[in-house]
Structure 1
């Protein structure tokens, strides 16, 4: 008997129903009838995301080595904005959700809480202890390979370090390129605008390479399974170490408790990051970094009940499986393809790629020696340093199918980015 053909169900719906809803939503948007409130904007973002996701998952090579539907949702939406296909009022509405309301923060808060609380406590403690060395390994690799490659184009190592490596490895735009440009102005007396415009351009190029190489690393892990784990922990032989893999039943109340727990930890992190202890030794500590630390402490002490921990894991799974498309569309709207294309020169492209590869190699090698899987260490401690911060982390982890490692990715962007700011303040004064 012939095997029954698997039905086509985009976003879990019968394709005829899904197509009907998308046609209604997109038509309503293009005639201006779709409201720009939260519900209407979400409907449009999800419709755009589903279309690009379904296409991206079916394009040969792209679906295996470029990142599949998630990456096409990001780049495709950017193209819709660049070519003025998406109506301006909905571009503005999406920007309100992503920038003013900052829906991205809620997404990351849910993922951080779920990914940490889902970890076995012994594995969590062991992995966090070894993570800073893996970050430093990625930084060292990026500096070394980036500066060596710069010599091929006649660019001295000091210029490569200051103008290429620091902004690429600095934790994104708001936490990296912006404060680096301010430090540059304070130390050198030169206008920060000149430094920032170049920094954000090379960072955008590196972000694309980080996403592509994340998909390649995923493929390497599938071929050579000994180099990677289950996508939830960095530690090698974690199955033998873990003891807490118990099945816990969860109710709707547990999901609600998990949501409030995540929001409570976020409030605690912002309290410390913005009021009680915003800096340590002169280094600014991001609220997400504090949040990760406090969630990890609570998980290590076992003070979060098992049903709530299981609820946090389910909540995280729902967001990563369904809401990620909304996030990628939102990130695409804020991505300027014109700015990216203007920065594409042979030197910028090759040096940015070399920095990304250096971050991969450095974090993978050091990660291996501290007991991590090299592929997962390279993705989190390496690529999540060389991207555009929070949105870049999600794109990289999405392309690599490693959303369970979001807490480590945020440590790279936040704590790692703080380390880069310290290095930058020293190098600007020493090399300029």
Structure 2
């Protein structure tokens, strides 16, 4: 047996031990005795997510260009459901856990709270002044190009903007397409699963194109050196001092505590409830958007003591690292109809995805230059890191572009930029 196989771990366990517990879960599943509720949904979703995630992360091409485990989990589960290889009773348990019992909202609340409150406050404020215009430039051009080409090709400008361009620029699956589908569904009185079936191919293809584009931009920088800082985003030297991270805060933030995570659980769910309260009085903007605005304001103004920010960040890290694959299983089962996805895919669809990614590059590159960024670095971080699939997409794009040092800015795109897209989507639905 090779060293790689000996060291194989699934869900942070040696594969042999994982296999024993997986066998128990799968036996209960196919015997029809899997418990209802989260006590049955969790073990099944964790086992399925861990296995499919490992497969996706080891598949050549898929792990490099198509999002790796995330895509394999979603489409793998959708395929199993499509061919009825999962018992109907288990499908109902997972679907009810995602929709009826609110696991999706639970995950999103942790994600929004922790990702924003866990950022350095100075970085959030100062980067917003320069960096957000670059993000907005990429988003505006991407949406405009998608709308124009959509209209010219007969797909429809509104359809192209809302169902292709917005999800591509929305920050991946868990923080983008999934909450977007809920926002669209509630606003348009449609089923979120019908909407996400159109969005998922766009997100996956957009991620693949963004990674390829990262490599091409790196080569472009070698041919035209005046457009690149070779990893430096800011043209003016010395401006980097404005966005240095707080080492003391990072040490406290990363010192894991079980009690701290418990406080984070309360705060994340309370912020979610607060978003629902505001949305009750101002329903035209979705509760997710109100939650994002509220958390960002609290962070920028320093309203919460640092301890509570750390609580939210650690809870978010626990949820993200342990339950992201679990969530994606639920998305594949409860929100993904393979038949509808296949019917939505076409050459026209591929073209619209391509012009969206191209628009993100052009818009963020031009606006980035105007605010003092090197165009190629701005296009990579404020453009492509908006068009990819969140954290894993950031790593893939920056790796392809040989600019891993830009990760802090890529994270702003994935976190703050993704949150901005949820707010923008709520507004666009009212306008369009």
Q: Please, what TM-score do these two structures have when normalized by structure 1? A: 0.76
Distance apart, 1:136 and its partner CA: 5.2
What is the rounded CA distance, in whole Å, between the counterparts of 1:307 and 1:198 in structure 2? 41
Match of 1:101 in 2: 101
What is the rounded CA distance, in whole Å, between the counterparts of 2:379 and 2:5 in structure 1? 38
Q: Deviations over 1:125-169 (max 9, x none)?
A: 233445366235323333225524764x5x3xxx63133223334
How do residues 382-397 of structure 1 correspond to structure 2 at under 5 angstroms?
382=387, 396-397=390-391
Match of 1:343 in 2: 344
Contact 1:10 1:18 in 2 (8 A): yes
How do residues 87-98 of structure 1 correspond to structure 2 at under 5 angstroms?
87-98=87-98
Contact 2:165 2:353 in 1 (8 A): no
Distance apart, 1:347 and its partner CA: 2.3
Q: Kindly tell me: are residues 294 and 197 of structure 1, through their superposed partners in 2, closer, same or farther at Cα, counting changes over 3 Å?
A: closer
Distance apart, 1:228 and its partner CA: 8.9
Q: Deviations over 1:170-210 (max 9, x none)?
A: 5633423774x67xxxxxxxxx99xx999876544323323
Match of 1:317 in 2: 317
Q: Greater shift after overlay, 129-138 or 408-417?
A: 129-138
1:266 to 255, 268, 272: 272
Contact 2:150 2:160 in 1 (8 A): no
Equivalent residue of 1:45, what SS? helix
Match of 1:253 in 2: 259
Match of 2:355 in 1: 354
2:379 to 367, 374, 380: 374
Q: Deviations over 1:92-122 (max 9, x none)?
A: 1111111112211111111211111221112
Q: Kindly tell me: are residues 226 and 310 of structure 1, through their superposed partners in 2, closer, same or farther at Cα, counting changes over 3 Å?
A: farther
Q: Deviations over 1:63-97 (max 9, x none)?
A: 11111112211111111111111111111111111
Distance apart, 1:263 and its partner CA: 2.0
Aligned length: 383
Match of 2:202 in 1: 206
Q: Kindly tell me: are residues 289 and 150 of structure 1, through their superposed partners in 2, closer, same or farther at Cα, counting changes over 3 Å?
A: closer
Distance apart, 1:26 and its partner CA: 1.2
What is the rounded CA distance, in whole Å, between the counterparts of 1:177 and 1:88 in structure 2? 25
Q: Kindly tell me: are residues 93 and 217 of structure 1, through their superposed partners in 2, closer, same or farther at Cα, counting changes over 3 Å?
A: farther
How do residues 42-191 of structure 1 correspond to structure 2 at under 5 angstroms?
42-129=42-129, 130-131=131-132, 134-135=135-136, 137-144=138-145, 147-148=148-149, 151=152, 153=153, 155=154, 160-170=156-166, 172-176=180-184, 179=187
Equivalent residue of 1:85, what SS? coil
Q: Greater shift after overlay, 7-16 or 374-383?
A: 374-383
Q: Kindly tell me: are residues 122 and 41 of structure 1, through their superposed partners in 2, closer, same or farther at Cα, counting changes over 3 Å?
A: same
Equivalent residue of 2:24, what SS? helix
Contact 1:45 1:329 in 2 (8 A): yes
What is the rounded CA distance, in whole Å, between the counterparts of 1:316 and 1:323 in structure 2? 10
Match of 2:423 in 1: 415
Match of 2:243 in 1: 241
Q: Kindly tell me: are residues 92 and 406 of structure 1, through their superposed partners in 2, closer, same or farther at Cα, counting changes over 3 Å?
A: farther
Distance apart, 1:317 and its partner CA: 1.7
Equivalent residue of 1:57, what SS? helix
Q: Please, what TM-score do these two structures have when normalized by structure 2? A: 0.76
Equivalent residue of 1:100, what SS? coil
What is the rounded CA distance, in whole Å, between the counterparts of 1:290 and 1:134 in structure 2? 20
Contact 1:292 1:407 in 2 (8 A): no
Equivalent residue of 2:247, what SS? coil
Q: Which consecutive unaligned segments of at least 5 residues does structure 2 have?
A: 168-179, 222-228, 396-409
Q: Kindly tell me: are residues 241 and 137 of structure 1, through their superposed partners in 2, closer, same or farther at Cα, counting changes over 3 Å?
A: closer
Q: Greater shift after overlay, 43-52 or 107-116?
A: 107-116
Equivalent residue of 2:303, what SS? coil
Contact 1:56 1:72 in 2 (8 A): yes
Q: Kindly tell me: are residues 337 and 406 of structure 1, through their superposed partners in 2, closer, same or farther at Cα, counting changes over 3 Å?
A: same
How do residues 23-34 of structure 1 correspond to structure 2 at under 5 angstroms?
23-34=23-34
Q: Kindly tell me: are residues 146 and 291 of structure 1, through their superposed partners in 2, closer, same or farther at Cα, counting changes over 3 Å?
A: closer
Q: Which consecutive unaligned segments of at least 5 residues does structure 1 have?
A: 183-191, 230-235, 279-283, 384-394, 425-432
Distance apart, 1:412 and its partner CA: 3.4
What is the rounded CA distance, in whole Å, between the counterparts of 2:295 and 2:278 in structure 1? 14
Distance apart, 1:348 and its partner CA: 3.1
Contact 1:67 1:215 in 2 (8 A): no
